[in-house]
Amino acid sequence: MLNIFRSRLRLPRHRSVGTWLLRRGVTPNAVTLVGTRALLLAALWFIPRGQLFGRHPRDHLFVLFDLLDGAGPRASGSGTRFGAVLDASL
């Protein structure tokens, strides 16, 4: 979905963060799964309290996870179909 903005957002920081994560053994799929789990836990906590919408730092955190899960494969040049489907599905 964000591919239409990718040409405008070619920030070298994303690749350096992706490289940093890969060097520490954090896979892009793990970033996707952690981000999804955090989102689900937050939804289970905030939605019953009527706090579905709002400009909150937690929303920015989930967007950050979504940005970082693609930074690793772009930094290493080794993306997989499974990773792409996992990211798109979750």
Tell me the CA distances in angstroms from 1 to 6, 42, 52, 75, one per residue in order. Answer: 10, 23, 22, 20
**Higher per-residue confidence, 85 vs 54:** 85
Residue 13's pLDDT is what? 58
Q: Are 18 and 74 in contact (CB under 8 A)?
A: yes
Would you say residue 33 has pLDDT above 80? yes
Query: What span, in angstroms and rounded, lies between the C-alpha atoms of 20 and 10?
Result: 17
Query: What span, in angstroms and rounded, lies between the C-alpha atoms of 83 and 59?
Result: 23
Residue 46's pLDDT is what? 80
List the structure tokens of 44: 């289970």
Beta strands in 1-90 (DSSP E): none
Would you say residue 11 has pLDDT above 60? no
